[in-house]
Amino acid sequence: MLLARGTLVHTLGCLWKQLRKTAHFPTVTEIKKIEEFEVPFQGHNDEVSFEIKPFIKHKLETDPCTTVKLNREDGLKMYKQMNIIRKLELAAAQLYQDKKIRGFCHLYTGQEGVAVGIKSAMREQDTVISSYRAHGWHYLMSDSAVSLMSELTGKVTGCSRGKGGSMHLYAKNFFGGNGIVGAQVPLGTGIALYHKLQNTGGVSFTVYGDGAANQGQVFESFNMAKLWNLPVVFVCENNHYGMGTSEERSSADIEYYRRGDYIPGIKVDGMDVLAVRECAAFGIAHCLEGKGPIILEMDTYRYHGHSMSDPGTAYRTRDEVSLVRKNKDPITILKNRMVSTNLSSDEDFKTIDNEVKVLLEDVITKAKGDPEPTCDEFAIDIYQMNCQDSIRGCVPNEVFLSEETSLHERAIL
């Protein structure tokens, strides 16, 4: 018996030595690498649910659901839209440096999740009005990268025939692009009044920044909107810096979603496009129930400076910007979610990236090659419908004569 046991132990020992020579057993480090390695793509899911961060609310009994659903089609569409906006802005930055774009130019890089999330929840009858940081909004509302880039470069194929530039962009149901800080808020409130009086069933999304949040006209608009229970969603895009001033240095109260006092509000992770979409849909439902206005504060971040004349590093560190890019980028967050749940694969995103690259090349080529407006257009487009017989000054070098002008003077002129 002992001999048999000894023989078995000896045999097992020999087998172990042989296995050690011929087989590989992963180390702890290698096991960790295997666990962290991306699981090969196994096929698509049609729809997946995600848990998002809880919302912070003000004067609301209910709040948006924190379990959101996303299907493959919508996810890829939002990724492509954000990617196009990002690439358009980077191209605009280069064209500005090349002096192909002149004047003011405020870029939207980093904030793409706000516009795309809201647009994903909007219906055909809903409207938007924004600040001068409007490139992304114009693209989404017009679905035309050409009209945007041509306008930035001052070409006749632009949405304002090259005469508006970066801050004056328009499209169907998109009322700008406004160059005056905060001026769009009372205008957006007026659009909401139109929706109510005309019974359109639409909601006015009125977008402004934290830099405009202290303006008196904003609070006047809040008062009228609540007094008349207008269907308006006030959206504060809080990128934490009004030009070069941080919110802590400019505002006694930085909880902008509570600024309406008697108006309900929600603080939203503006870097999460799904959270934005969920809150935008909640805001629409709130207005349609006749409860009046609501404020959505979008906690977001801009990667570039306030405008192209601002390097964006005098009032914040490069490390701060890099940290947000690394951990909170809205495009990366959506992509990682979809890949990790098999809603899509890396190949899907590579295909979209290539499509966007080709699109941008075509858009830039066209914007550079299209003609500029002629001198004959300097003074036109002042009124859509003229109430007078004629408008003076629409023709260059036009001469105006008073009734007292003598025949001799008329002959000379």
Mean pLDDT across the chain: 88
Total domain count for the chain? 1
Residue 412 within a domain: no
Kindly state the average pLDDT of the residues 176-181. Answer: 92
Query: Does 240 score more than 80 pLDDT?
Result: yes
Query: Does 229 score more than 50 pLDDT?
Result: yes
Dump pLDDT digits (tens) for 328-345: 999 999 999 999 999 999
pLDDT value of position 412: 61
Q: Which long-range contacts (CB under 8 A, 24 or more apart) does 177-181 make?
A: 177/130, 177/132, 177/134, 177/137, 177/138, 178/129, 178/130, 178/131, 178/132, 178/134, 179/104, 179/132, 181/131, 181/211, 181/212, 181/215
Dump pLDDT digits (tens) for 358-412: 999 999 999 999 999 988 777 677 666 666 667 666 676 777 666 666 665 656 6
Residue 107 within a domain: yes
DSSP state of 55: P
Residue for token digits 């979603």? 257
**Is residue 271 very low, low, confident or very high in pLDDT (cuts 50, 70, 90)?**
very high
Residue 161's Cβ-count burial label (10 Å; 0-12, 13-18, 19+) is middle
**Assigned token pair, 389:** 């017989």
- Domain range for residue 291? 47-376
Residue 121 within a domain: yes
> Which element (helix H / strand E) includes 197?
helix 184-198
CATH number for the domain including 71?
3.40.50.970
Query: Does 34 score more than 80 pLDDT?
Result: no
pLDDT value of position 376: 77
Residue 269 within a domain: yes
Say if residues 346 and 41 touch (Cβ distance below 8 Å).
yes
Residue 157 within a domain: yes
Dump pLDDT digits (tens) for 276-319: 999 999 999 999 999 999 999 999 999 999 999 899 989 999 99
Residue 407 within a domain: no
pLDDT value of position 377: 77
Residue 26 within a domain: no
Residue 10 within a domain: no
Query: Does 31 score more than 70 pLDDT?
Result: no
CA dihedral 273, 275, 276, 279 (to 10 degrees): 160
